[in-house]
Structure 1
Amino acid sequence: MPRRSHSPPRQLPEAEPEEIYGPETQLEEQGFAWYNPDKWYPVEIGQVFESRYQVLLKLGFGSASTVWLCRDLNLHSYVTLKFYATGHRQASNEEKVLDYLWHVASDHPGRNLLRSIKASFEVAGPVGPHLCLVFETLGLSLADIREIAGGKVPENLLKGLIYALLLGLDYMHSEAHVVHTDIQDGNIMLAITDTSILDDLVEAEWALPSARKIVGDRIVYASTGLEIPDDPGDPIICDFGDARVGAGPFEGQVMPDLYRAPEIILGMTWNEKIDIWALGLMIWDLFEGKLLFNTRLRDRTASRAAHFARMVSLMGPPPDDLLERGSSWREFFDEKGKLMIDGEIPESSLEEEECNLEGSDKQDFLAFLRKMLQWRPEDRLSARELMEDPWLNRQYAED
């Protein structure tokens, strides 16, 4: 069969946009303090990059990039382009880590559960080059799923997601020797099993172009959202901008504040077990519909102390040998070993705060969580060990 030739770019829609916002509206990335228009590439719908990738619509944005659904005019397929802000530290690191992962020789089934890079290129911007990474297009994130589902992910769906994530983490930790450092629901996306949902999305964009705001010589677009598919694909671990490669141990501050493992807060060296801690917190957040640690104060030191006090209330005091390994324990304890925090430490427990299960189901779920939420990194089970957990593997009868 002869190969199809390069497709011509699609003509822009003639319909008027859904809405054009005025200068008083801060649209999408504009509403955040980290946004600097000089450092963000002004991608436009219809634009073609590398004589190959035509931009069709905006999928989203983050603190370092914007993400776009595009058409590969050579391969006649959808791809996602991620445009990094100029000079952002995550850009080169993500490209380096993804390139490393691509070249790891392995037949581990978890290899396919990490996002892989198709290509990369640079475009010139007003104050420097912008790195663009090319990916296969994925669907909703677990954060999206939770929001659409009303704040919680059902148990039967969650178990399948957890098992697949553990498979991906086992490959990442045991064979690729990569620590992600930012496991959270926004960085786990579902594979797309039926690309017709993307066809529908593009046709809807052409029938009624997305809302936007014109700012000088650039356009800021509203993102186009996906819906939960009838047949969701596997969860894929994404966003390797803060990942580390190697056996470790590593040093330095990583992880989002509310997901930080004890060893990060205490100024210890760390390894892949911080991903296991974060996975435990993410599972709680998805299943319970609330953050286990949610203290945010204006003063960062006070926030850290309150966060640490919450850990103590849920897990009991940290082992002395753990404190001795860290450099920051004096922020939280005096010379007599008393925790320094204003007011009383609120007494609580996972049993009191878990509200979806009862009886042995509740006990088994919390036992599973406690295999991840341990003070000492070495006391947390590995991803492979967690895959054998009874709660995770138990089959529930249909209602």
Structure 2
Amino acid sequence: MWDVLHSRYQVVGKLGNGAYSTVWLCRDLVEHCHVTVKVCTQLGIPVERELSALKHLNSLPASEHIGRTFIRTALDHFELPADPKSSNPAPFPCFVYKPMATSLYQFRKLFPQNRFPKQLLKSILQHVLLAIHYLHIEAKMIHADIQEGNILLSLDDPNILEEFEEEEWRNPSPRKIDGDRVVYLSRLMHMHMTYDKYGPPILCDFTEARFGSATYTDLIQPDVYRAPEVILAIPWDEKVDIWSVGVLIWDMFEGTHMFKTAGGPENKYRTVNHLAHMVSLLGPPPVDFLKRTEVDWIPWKYFDKQGEGNWIGKASVPEDSLEQLEENLEGEDKAQFLAFVRKMVTWKPEDRCSIEELLKDPWLN
């Protein structure tokens, strides 16, 4: 702690860690402000994707598209020297960002029943949709991992950062010695429950981002948010981001996942349960959609190839509907909300509405 990275960024405290990185609050000794430094502790394709995506975003010309302001771009990037004792002595890539407050996932926990109020949800969605529109239209990118943990509230109050630093100085975070390393416990920033204490939500984390091709076939998205074309090995495009927003809305407003995906003796995620509940809520998939697969056996493990594409998977189809599962609204408001969701959550990607259409939707306005 308090080391200076890259002869410029003095470490103040640990903010968190993920599968591939640790994140630190630092003081920029040149610009005299706080920054966040993400240190990639494991190398691999996700880190390479993020570096490529951030370089691509920073290379784009200035734009008047408001969505650009809701995308988190890097202020700087550098490498820390490799550990000579490591079996893989490669340098550690580091990304420098403007500090953020908290993720939508953490922020939602402050609200009753883990649900955002309707007006707050609408505001969040408008910002997120504008960010995605910029990615798709001007950056020609697919985010491919839109979830609450990758949407951070911006931080307009610098006092929160000063308080964090002062608290770390007065009451240092717990740590332990692990061989020749010191492992620090993360310190949480103070969170306000009122949305007006923060700036707009910012779309972050480009470790799954794609650009440069029209379609892709590899596996993306957290399993519970995975679009049907991804599950069924059908070439996918930017419309996977539209699907993600549709299912994400359910988390934020209903406090639970849209699709029941767990099953089996261990009650864990199973593709067969996920698809069965899609059939329950969306109806059976069109056969011509299933035939787009690039791995012929995958769809027909769950759907009848010879007939109308009826369900034959080894899990029962629940008797559910979005109308039954939605618990917050009534009457016309509920009907408009579900119509809005259904514009994003469809079997065929081409049936999902465009960002422009979604931003004009009557429920959102």
Same fold (TM over 0.5): yes
CA contact (8 A) 1:177 1:247 kept: no
Secondary structure of the equivalent of 2:285?
coil
Q: CA deviation at 1:247?
A: 5.0
- Who is 2:275 aligned against? 308
Secondary structure of the equivalent of 1:390?
coil
- Who is 1:381 aligned against? 353
- Who is 1:269 aligned against? 235
2:159 pairs with 1:196: yes
Return the alpha-carbon distance in structure 2 between the equivalents of residues 72 and 108 of structure 1: 29
2:188 partner amino acid = G
- Who is 2:96 aligned against? 134
Q: CA deviation at 1:356?
A: 0.8
Return the alpha-carbon distance in structure 2 between the equivalents of residues 305 and 373 of structure 1: 18
| CA RMSD, Structure 1 to Structure 2 (Å) | 1.8
- Who is 2:78 aligned against? 121
Return the alpha-carbon distance in structure 2 between the equivalents of residues 218 and 153 of structure 1: 41
- Who is 1:333 aligned against? 303
Return the alpha-carbon distance in structure 2 between the equivalents of residues 365 and 338 of structure 1: 28
Return the alpha-carbon distance in structure 2 between the equivalents of residues 335 and 365 of structure 1: 34
CA contact (8 A) 1:155 1:287 kept: yes
Identify the match of residue 218 of structure 1 among 150, 165, 181.
Answer: 181
CA contact (8 A) 1:305 1:331 kept: no
CA contact (8 A) 1:86 1:129 kept: no
Return the alpha-carbon distance in structure 2 between the equivalents of residues 88 and 147 of structure 1: 32
2:20 partner amino acid = A
Q: CA deviation at 1:368?
A: 0.6
Alignment of 1:229-244 (within 5 A): 229=192, 230-244=196-210
Return the alpha-carbon distance in structure 2 between the equivalents of residues 217 and 110 of structure 1: 44
Secondary structure of the equivalent of 2:52?
helix
CA contact (8 A) 1:276 1:372 kept: yes
In 2 relative to 1, CA 302–96 (structure 1 residues): closer, same or farther, beyond 3 Å?
A: closer
CA contact (8 A) 2:302 2:314 kept: no
Return the alpha-carbon distance in structure 2 between the equivalents of residues 302 and 355 of structure 1: 24
2:24 pairs with 1:68: yes
CA contact (8 A) 2:28 2:34 kept: yes
2:259 pairs with 1:293: yes
2:173 partner amino acid = S
Return the alpha-carbon distance in structure 2 between the equivalents of residues 301 and 201 of structure 1: 38
Return the alpha-carbon distance in structure 1 between the equivalents of residues 45 and 145 of structure 2: 15
Return the alpha-carbon distance in structure 2 between the equivalents of residues 170 and 343 of structure 1: 37
Q: CA deviation at 1:213?
A: 2.3
Moved more, 183-192 or 221-230: 221-230
- Who is 1:111 aligned against? 68
Query: Which consecutive residues of structure 2, in runs of 5 or more, have no partner in the other structure?
Result: none
- Who is 1:13 aligned against? none
1:118 partner amino acid = L
Q: CA deviation at 1:61?
A: 1.0
Q: CA deviation at 1:296?
A: 3.6
2:126 partner amino acid = Y
Q: Deviations over 1:351-385 (max 9, x none)?
A: 00010111111111111100100111001011121
Q: CA deviation at 1:294?
A: 4.2
Alignment of 1:384-399 (within 5 A): 384-393=356-365
In 2 relative to 1, CA 146–248 (structure 1 residues): closer, same or farther, beyond 3 Å?
A: same
Q: CA deviation at 1:338?
A: 3.8
1:90 partner amino acid = P
Identify the match of residue 127 of structure 2 among 159, 164, 176.
Answer: 164
CA contact (8 A) 1:86 1:131 kept: no
Q: CA deviation at 1:343?
A: 4.6
Q: Deviations over 1:322-355 (max 9, x none)?
A: 1111132122124444423335311101100010
Q: CA deviation at 1:147?
A: 1.5
Query: Which consecutive residues of structure 1, in runs of 5 or more, have no partner in the other structure?
Result: 1-44, 394-399
